[in-house]
Amino acid sequence: MGTNRANGSLYTEVRDRVARVEFGHPDGNSFVSEMLDRLASEFNALSANSQVGAIILCSEGKDIFCAGASLKELMAVQTPQEGTEFFSGFAKVLNAMRLCTKPILGRVQGKAVGGGVGLVAACDYVFATEAAAIRLSEISIGIAPLVIAPAVERKAGKTGLAELSLSPLEWKNAYWAKEKGLYSRVYDSISELDRDLDFFSVKLASFSPDALQALTSVLWEGTAHWETLLTERAVLSGKLALSKQSRQALEKFRNR
């Protein structure tokens, strides 16, 4: 059962040196700013925790992995500063994942939209089900996936990013995502996924912490500039969110 908390939920359980970080929100496991801040802080804490060897990022429920950033919160944005703060949430999380000294494994049991695709792209290794279709819908509401674009491009390439972001109403299936490098493995069912993920994560966490840290650093080579790039992208996104086109599109969403 998913959470019914307006600000969502975030729980971490550590077992066999594997930290399982689970998030949830009644609106399709979407993220409000408070949850994004908490998730970034959690990655930072786990990165420094010597009792953790690997991290699993997962969400509540069966049908939706993550619907991205909260559209309700986006509709409440009134100033460029508020817009920058709103979009900075995912920038903080992506940078925390980028700097994490432990490998992050994604458990994607259902659909991912917008910022949810960014989270998937920032994981080091991703287990997904056939139901885990993805979509970048930002253009359809007058904004663009600017903050998460570097993470998606890093895995899927510029062509993959363009194919996703320029067809905002089209779902790409799990096998497309695997072909593009966003998913590592795809399973018929959640039970099959969990069986392999549990074995894989415990084994991975038993390896040398120094070797794992060295490897994750290599995997993220060339991304140091994200510290400023993602913030700059959040500023631009905040401006787009206040445009006439975006306000009109969000108003239609409000009236559905």
Count the neighbouring beta carbons within 10 Å of the beta carbon of residue 255. 6
C-alpha distance from residue 17 to each of 34, 132, 184, 208, 253 (Å)? 27, 27, 22, 12, 43
Residue 125 has pLDDT above 90, yes or no: yes
Strand extents, DSSP E, 118-239: 125-129, 134-135, 185-187
How, if at all, do strands 18-24 and 9-15 pair?
Answer: antiparallel
Residue 213 has pLDDT above 80, yes or no: yes
Question: Domain 9-191 falls in which CATH fold?
Answer: 2-enoyl-CoA Hydratase; Chain A, domain 1 (3.90.226)
Residue 2 has pLDDT above 50, yes or no: no
Extents of the domains making up the chain: 9-191
At residue 81, the pLDDT reads 93
Q: Give the chain's mean pLDDT.
A: 95
pTM of the model: 0.95
Could you tell me what percent of the chain has a pLDDT over 70?
Answer: 96
Return d(Cα 234, Cα 145) in angstroms, integer.
10
Return d(Cα 227, Cα 183) in angstroms, integer.
25
Length of the chain: 256
User: How large is the average pLDDT for residues 6-29?
Assistant: 95
Residue 5 has pLDDT above 80, yes or no: no
Residue 242 has pLDDT above 50, yes or no: yes
More confident residue, 110 or 254: 110
At residue 1, the pLDDT reads 41
How, if at all, do strands 9-15 and 64-66 pair?
Answer: unpaired
User: Is residue 18 helix, strand or coil?
Assistant: strand
Residue 120 has pLDDT above 60, yes or no: yes
> Mind listing the pLDDT tens digit for each residue in 226-239?
999 999 999 999 99
Residue 60 has pLDDT above 60, yes or no: yes
> Mind listing the pLDDT tens digit for each residue in 176-209?
999 999 999 999 999 999 999 999 999 999 999 9
At residue 6, the pLDDT reads 75
Residue 6 in contact with residue 35, Cβ under 8 Å? no
Return d(Cα 86, Cα 74) in angstroms, integer.
7
Residue type, 2: G
User: How large is the average pLDDT for residues 20-36?
Assistant: 96
Ordered DSSP codes for 56-123: EEEESSSSEEE--B-HHHHHT--SHHHHHHHHHHHHHHHHHHHH-SS-EEEEE-SEEETHHHHHHHHS
Residue type, 28: G
Instruction: Categorize the per-residue pLDDT at 255 as very low, low, confident or very high, splitting at 50, 70 and 90.
Output: low
User: How large is the average pLDDT for residues 1-28?
Assistant: 87
